[in-house]
Chain A
Amino acid sequence: MNIIVCIKQVPATTNVQIDDKTCTLKREGVESIINPFDEYAVEEGVRLKEKLGGKVTVISMGPPQAESALRETLSRGADEAVLVTDRAFAGADTLATSYTLAMAIRTVGQFDLIICGKQASDGDTAQVGPGIAEALDIAHVSYVRKIEQTTNKLDNPADNCMRVERMMEDGYDIVEVPLPALITVVKDINTPRLPSLKGMMAAKKAQIPHWNAEKINADKSRIGLSGSPTWVKKIFYPPPRKGGDMLSGEPQELAKKLVDKLRELKVI
């Protein structure tokens, strides 16, 4: 089974600062990590490969330093990694990003399954996974919490499919999806492994190709700022949350104080 996992490198903290001068986010000196949701995507890809055979290729779009995130996925069992990087990609919104990653996936070639994390912890949009699926004209299922079954026969690829559980607000849907397909996964799906020593050695030595816009045959009008219908007009801090009343006393007293206050506010 050929699996492609898309990952994003994000700041290690969500507690980011705005640069007063440029009014953009301060990126310098902020440690970067693999988007937490993407770790589940990598792990699920590696598990499927271990069960069914095949290969896991990890792709990321980002600046050259995103290579370190890709290298880490190799230490956790992925086979190959590709960095899609070009200054022309800068300023991409979710539509341009989806298109760019889809073109990179086309360049990788044949695949059975694409796995993404449900969303990135910086943008929090959850839009790129379904966007890639649309750009590649394949089916997708978002918020997958479990892969129940995979049918992947080489002799009859038309029948290959997956049965997955899609998380909903009040339960889950069981959905069957034909391969090739794209799924986005939630934390519930697995517990990611730690890098192995052997993996780390291999990751250190691995060659990670850098692909630019030309290499992936991208249409210039559909990448970066020019391919992005949405623009960030401004960023700002939300009003800080102030503390309120510290109540102390006997449990009985505390309970009465709280319930009285909530009744006063007419919220219960």
Chain B
Amino acid sequence: MPNKIEIIKGKCTGCGLCIKSCPFGAIMLVDRDEPLGKIKKIAVIDVLKCNFCGACVEACKKYGAIIIEKEQVEDTLKKIYADYKGVWVYAEQRNNEISPVVYELLNEGGVLAEKLKVELSAVFIGHNIEQSAQELIYHGANKVYVIDDILFKDFQDDPYSEILARLVKEEKPEIVLFGASNIGRSFASRVAAKIKAGLTADCTGLDICPDTKNLLQTRPAFGGNIMATILTPQHRPQMSTVRHKVFKKAQRDTSRKGEIVRKKFDLTGIKNRTKFIEFVRDTSARVNLAEADIIVSGGRGLGKPEGFKLIEEFAGVIGGAVGASRAAVDSGWIPYSHQVGQTGRTVAPKIYIACGISGQIQHLVGMVSSDIIVAINRDKEAPMMKIASFALEGDLYEVIPCIINELKSA
């Protein structure tokens, strides 16, 4: 039996709720051939666009005007899904240092696992990493899969994605979370393509749908001007990369117990096409914008490259990283790795301090979700001053030294 969806003419009130609920734009209102009392409109469904997801049926609960009959595939799918259990967090590490976003994922992953009443596991890939696996348990993992081999000493997309794909196929988790770091976004895409799973990028909100138990993934698009909630209803696992600093870190609790599972795979013939040569640390200090709680950024208003000396001093005293607007980067005052905004990095620290940055939309989209925004600018009409939590009207070369003194004085 093929899928069927139908509008019951006698029940449709022409309210249009179903239209808003339809993810595929498959429903519209048209004039009724014969009005039903005062009701002149009726909803019609374009079956070519319809994906039979049932969102409209849900929206029309009150009137019950839409009925859907799905083919048996749905039940078969449910049986397949039943094999997929548990929430996984990919525990990103470099040089045996666990990336801070992992602890945030363990916290949020724990919340999801609780809602689903399943286990929370971490996947830890690297070389000579086992001594750190316990840390993941202290932060909430019930189980840690450790894959330890010289092959995984440095991050490379080929072997990392291949081994994770194998582990997913073998263990069948229902959800896999990655940090939306350069590493996470690069190789999660490759894993998803390998196993043909759905992957949602750069999520800022995660939840479980109480009815379907699907993962609801909310993420910004169009540089944060639009938010979208994404579902992976017919595939498992559901995979997401998650933005840094959105979720709180899990508390470390050394009384937590968990299981460490050493996974052995036959690694002969595993692809490893790229060759890692070396890592070169950014010598311009204070650059890790993704992990920073406080960012001090400089823009065109600095007027000269030396201005960043003051910004760096400010960042040093307040304990933050140094950011920059595109104008400052394009003027050659500071390397691109510091650029915040549409063509740079997106950040969401606790405090973002914009010094001499007017706040063009391309910059705002990269930092507007910061908790507190401080703007220092001579022009109180600048867009940044309008959205700032605290807008300081003044010459930054006069104001910043005073702030530094004030910070040092306590």
- B23 CB contact (under 8 Å) in A94, A95, A175, A231: A231
Q: Map CB proximity to A onto B349-371 as digits: 1 under 8 Å, 0 otherwise.
A: 01100000000010001001101
Given contacts A230-B231, A233-B231, A245-B389, contact A173 B194 (CB under 8 A): no
Which of A19-27, A75-83, A103-111 participates in binding chain B?
Answer: A19-27
Complex: A145 Cα to B327 Cα, angstroms: 19
Q: Quick one: closest B residue to A98, CB to CB? A: B193
- B200 CB contact (under 8 Å) in A130, A143, A176, A230: A230
Given contacts A130-B193, A169-B182, contact A244 B391 (CB under 8 A): yes
Which A residues are CB-close (under 8 A) to B216?
233
- The reply to whether the CB of B208 lies closer than 8 angstroms to some CB of chain A is no
Complex: A94 Cα to B185 Cα, angstroms: 13
Given contacts A140-B190, A238-B227, contact A229 B19 (CB under 8 A): no
Which of A51-59, A200-208, A254-262 participates in binding chain B?
Answer: A254-262
Q: Is the CB of A237 within 8 A of B226?
A: yes
* Interface members, chain A 156-175 (any B CB < 8 Å): 163, 165-175
- A174 CB contact (under 8 Å) in B228, B277, B369: B277
Q: Is the CB of B182 within 8 A of A127?
A: no
Q: Map CB proximity to A onto B185-200 as digits: 1 under 8 Å, 0 otherwise.
A: 1111110111011111
Q: Is the CB of B337 within 8 A of A175?
A: no
Complex: A235 Cα to B405 Cα, angstroms: 46
- B368 CB contact (under 8 Å) in A94, A142, A241: A241
Q: Is the CB of B197 within 8 A of A130?
A: no
Q: Is the CB of A230 within 8 A of B232?
A: yes
Which of A1-9, A41-49, A61-69, A117-125 participates in binding chain B?
Answer: A117-125
Which A residues are CB-close (under 8 A) to B385?
243, 246
Which A residues are CB-close (under 8 A) to B335?
188
- The reply to whether the CB of B230 lies closer than 8 angstroms to some CB of chain A is yes
Which A residues are CB-close (under 8 A) to B344?
187
Complex: A126 Cα to B336 Cα, angstroms: 18
B-side binding surface: helix, strand, loop or mixed?
A: mixed
Q: Is the CB of B233 within 8 A of A256?
A: no
Question: B178 to nearest A CB, angstroms?
Answer: 11
Q: Is the CB of A95 within 8 A of B393?
A: no
Q: Is the CB of B228 within 8 A of A175?
A: no
- A246 CB contact (under 8 Å) in B20, B222, B391: B391
Q: Quick one: closest B residue to A246, CB to CB? A: B391
Q: Is the CB of A231 within 8 A of B388?
A: no
A-side binding surface: helix, strand, loop or mixed?
A: mixed
Q: Is the CB of A129 within 8 A of B368?
A: no
Which B residues are CB-close (under 8 A) to A236?
226-229
- State the interface size on chain A (CB cutoff 8 A): 91
* Interface members, chain B 315-338 (any A CB < 8 Å): 318-319, 335-337
Which B residues are CB-close (under 8 A) to A15?
222, 225, 361
Q: Is the CB of B291 within 8 A of A169?
A: yes
Question: B277 to nearest A CB, angstroms?
Answer: 4
- The reply to whether the CB of B266 lies closer than 8 angstroms to some CB of chain A is no
Complex: A176 Cα to B273 Cα, angstroms: 9
Given contacts A36-B343, A124-B220, A244-B389, contact A142 B186 (CB under 8 A): yes
Q: Quick one: closest A residue to B155, CB to CB? A: A173
Given contacts A176-B274, A258-B390, contact A18 B226 (CB under 8 A): yes
Q: Is the CB of A237 within 8 A of B361?
A: no
Q: Is the CB of A139 within 8 A of B157?
A: yes
Q: Is the CB of A124 within 8 A of B223?
A: yes
Which B residues are CB-close (under 8 A) to A94?
189, 192, 199, 201
Complex: A68 Cα to B185 Cα, angstroms: 30
Which B residues are CB-close (under 8 A) to A129?
189
Which A residues are CB-close (under 8 A) to B231?
230-231, 233
- The reply to whether the CB of B78 lies closer than 8 angstroms to some CB of chain A is no
Q: Quick one: closest B residue to A161, CB to CB? A: B275
Question: B36 to nearest A CB, angstroms?
Answer: 21
Which B residues are CB-close (under 8 A) to A24?
25
Using CB atoms and an 8 Å cutoff, list the residues of chain B in contact with chain A.
16, 19-25, 28, 51, 53, 55, 154-158, 161, 181-183, 185-190, 192-194, 196-202, 216, 220-235, 273-282, 287-291, 294, 318-319, 335-337, 339, 342-344, 346, 350-351, 361, 365, 368-369, 371-374, 380, 385-395, 398-399, 401-403, 405-407, 410
Can you add 8 more A-B contacts, CB < 8 Å, to A140-B157, A187-B336? A14-B361, A94-B192, A143-B186, A171-B337, A172-B279, A173-B276, A262-B351, A268-B294
The 4 A-B residue pairs whose C-beta atoms are closest, nearest first, are A229-B198, A255-B402, A134-B193, A130-B189
Between-chain CB contacts (< 8 Å), 16 pairs: A127-B185, A142-B182, A168-B183, A169-B289, A169-B291, A171-B282, A173-B155, A175-B277, A176-B277, A230-B230, A251-B394, A255-B399, A256-B406, A259-B403, A262-B351, A267-B371
